[in-house]
Chains A and B, each alone.
Chain A
Amino acid sequence: MKKQIIPKTDSSLYFKVLSIAALLIFLPALVLPVKGQLSAWELPGYKERVNVFSLGLGRTTERETYLSWSTYSGTSVSFEEDNWKCYSPGKLFGYGRTHSSILYSSLRNPIGGGNTLYLEVECFYSRAWHALHTESSDLLVGPSAMFKLGGIYSGSNSNNVATGEGYLSIGICADYVWRFNIGGKPLAFQASFFSPLAGIAPSPNYDQPYWYVYKYNQYASMIHFAWLGNYRALTQQAAIVCPLSKGSLRVGCTYDYLGNELGGHLTRISDISFTIGYVYRWERKD
C-alpha cells in the first residue's frame, strides 16, 4: 500500500509572505514616539484589566475522516480577544485570564476542489498564579476551563454534509512575558499557552449518521470522555508588544490545534494565524 506522508506544516512561501507583512506592519511602530512609557507590558495591578483585541489571517489544515480521507487546507480569518485581570495580587491564583476567539476558514482538498468551510469558537477561562516576577519577566500559571466548538461543512459531500467538533474541558494555562529594549524602545515578548487535559467531547461513532442521532435520540452516545491520550488540543500565542503613544501594538502569531481519534475516526485541525492587535489597559470599576 503506497502511502503519502501527511503534510505537517504549511508551505514555507505562505509563511514567509505573512512574516514579511507582519514585520512591515510592526517596524513603523518601533520608530513611533513613546510618551513616558517605561515598559511595553506590565501585568494589571489590583482592579486593573488588560485587553487585547486582535485580527488574524492564517492558514487552516483539516483532516476529518468522517467526511473525507483527504487533507483540506485554506485561508482563515480570525478575531481574538484576550484579557488579564487582577483580583487579588497577593493571593494564590489572584489573576484571571480569558481568551476568546472565532475562526473561519475556507478549505479545499489537495486537488483544489471539494469546497469545505470550518467555523470554530473557542473560550478559555483561567485563574493564574503569579509564579515568577522579575524586573524583566513575569510568568502566570494556572488551571483553566476551556470550551471549544467547531463545525465543518462540506459543499461536495451530499449525504453527510457536515460534522461538528467540540471540547468542554479543564486544562492548564501559562503566560510568559519578557521585557527588553531595542535602541531605548521598550518592547516585550509575550507567549501564552493553553492546553486541555481532560473533559468531554462530542463525536459521531464511526459511521453513525447524524440522522440516526436525531431519529433515535442517540445524543448521549456521541459524548466521549476525552483526555490527553485520545484528544489533544492547544492554543499558543507568541507576540511582540510595542508601546504606542496610547495603548500598545501587539503583532504575533497564534497556533491552534485539535486532534483526536474519538468515535473511531481521525480528526486533525490546525491553524496558524498572524495576528495584529491593540493592547488596552483600563481600571475596573467593580
Chain B
Amino acid sequence: MDDPIRIEIMKHLFVSVAEEMGVRLQRAAYSPNIKERCDFSCAVFDAYGQLVAQAAHIPVHLGAMPLSVQACLHKLEFTPGDVAMVNDPYQGGTHLPDITMVSPIYIQHNGQETLVGFVANRAHHADVGGMSAGSMPLSEELYQEGVIIPPIKLVCDGVINQDVWDLFLANVRTPIEREGDLQAQLAANRIGIERMEGFVHRYGFEQVCQDMDALIHYGERMTRQLIAELPDGHYCFDDQLDDDGITFEPVKIMASVTIAGDEVTVDFTGTDQQRQGSINAVYPITLSAVVYVFRCLLGLDIPANSGCMEPIHIVAPEGTIVNARFPAAVAGGNVETSQRIVDVVLGAMVQACPDRIPAASQGTMNNIAIGGWDEGRQQPFAYYETIGGGMGARSTGTGASAIHSHMTNTLNTPVEALEYVYPFRVTRYEVRKQSGGQGTFHGGDGLRREYEFLQTAHVTILSDRRTKGPYGVAGGLSGQPGRNQLQSGGNTQELPSKCRLVVQAGDILTIETPGGGGYGEDVHEKPTIHS
C-alpha cells in the first residue's frame, strides 16, 4: 500500500506541472485553435512512457497521448536535450493537425545522465498543408491531409534541426503562424522539464520515480473500485454516422460493453469496415473515447493516468472505422467518429445505469474550415472552427444549450477577433430554438451560426447528425438534426453533412447544429426555457 499522504501531495505537484505547461502553451501560441480554443493537452510521463498526470484540457487526447510517447520511445534513441515530434496517426498520432512534442527529462544521478521521465504536449495546428486549407479535408487517403511526421527528432542535444523545421514550414499554408506555435510547444516542454528537475532536486531521484509509480497504481485502484460499483452485465447498442462524405451511405458503429467485477470490456465487433472518406478513426481515438466515458461515470476528480486505463479493455477489429488501417483518410475520425463512439458506448451504459446517463448530445463538432488568398491583406489565410450544439437531457432536468459536448470543449473565436484577421464576417450567432428533443425533460438547443463572405474562399464542412438526430432516452424524442445551407445569388442550397465548396463575395453560409435528445416519455408541448 502506498503512502496515502504522499500520493495526494505528489498528485498536486505533477498536475501543476502539466497545467503550467498548458498556460505557457496557450498564452504564447498563434493558432486560434490553441490560444482561443484550448485545443491542446499537456502531460507528464514516467521513464517507461506511462502517463503520470495530464491536465484537464481536452478529452480526445486522453488515451492518445501515451500512445504518442510510446511510439517515440519505440522508434527513437533519446539523449538529453532532444525533443521528438510526431503527428502520424498510424504511429501514435490521431490526425495530422495534432502535433505532439515529446521531451525526455534527464538528471545527473550517480554521476551520469539518467532518464526520469518525459513531458509532452499536443496541439491542434490551424493548418498542416494538404488538399484544403485548415487541413480537415474530405480526403480519401492520408497523403491528402497534410504533412505526415513520423516520430523524428526536431531538436537534437538542444539544437533545432533547421532542415526539418524549414521542410515542415515550406509545406504549410501559414508558416509564420506555424513557427510561433512550434515555438510555444517547445517553450511548454521546457518549463515542464524545469519543474520536473526541481522536483528531483527537492525530493531525490528514487523518491520521484517511486511517486510516479504510486500515482499510477492509485489511479488504477480508484478506477477498479468505481467500476466494481457499476452493475455487472452485458449491454449492447449501435448508432450511425450520416455518411463518409464520398458515398452517401450511413456508417454503423456497434459496441457491446461487458462489466465484470472491477473490469470492463468494450467490444466493437460488428462495426462497419473502414471507408474511403475521412471519417476513419485510428485506435488511439477509440481508446480516448472509451476512457472518456468511464472517466465521466467514475466521478470528476479521479486522476488521468495510465493506471486508470488498466482495467478498461477494448476490442476494436482492425480495418473497421474504429481501428483504421494505413493509409485510410482520418481527418474526421478524431472529431466526428470519436463523438459517435461516445454516443454508442453511452447508449449501451444507459441500460446499466439509466439515471446517470443523459440522452445523446449533438454528436458532432461541426468543423468549418475556411481558407484561400486574402486579397485585402495580400496573404494566404486558413481558419478552422467548431460549433457547439445541444446537450442531451438528463433524468433530473433539461440539457444545456449551445455548448460543446463530450470529446471537445473548445472556445469559440470572438466575432470581433475574427473580423480583424479574416475576409469574412459572422452575421448571426444564436440559439436554435426548439431544436432539443422533447420528453419529460427537453434536450438542449443547438446553435445557428451564419457567415457572410467578403471575397472568394474555399470552405470545407465536416459535420454529422444531419440526417438522424441525437437519440432520446427513456422514451424521450430525438433532437433535431443539424442543417447546412448556402445562399448564393438569390438561391438557397441545402448542403450535405460533409462537403467542400468555393464561395463568392456576398454568399451566406448558415450552419445549424443539432439539438440534444430528450429524456423521459412525458412528451408534450412545453416551452423550452432559456433563462
| Co-complex (A, B) | no
Enumerate chain A interface residues (CB-CB to B < 8 A).
none
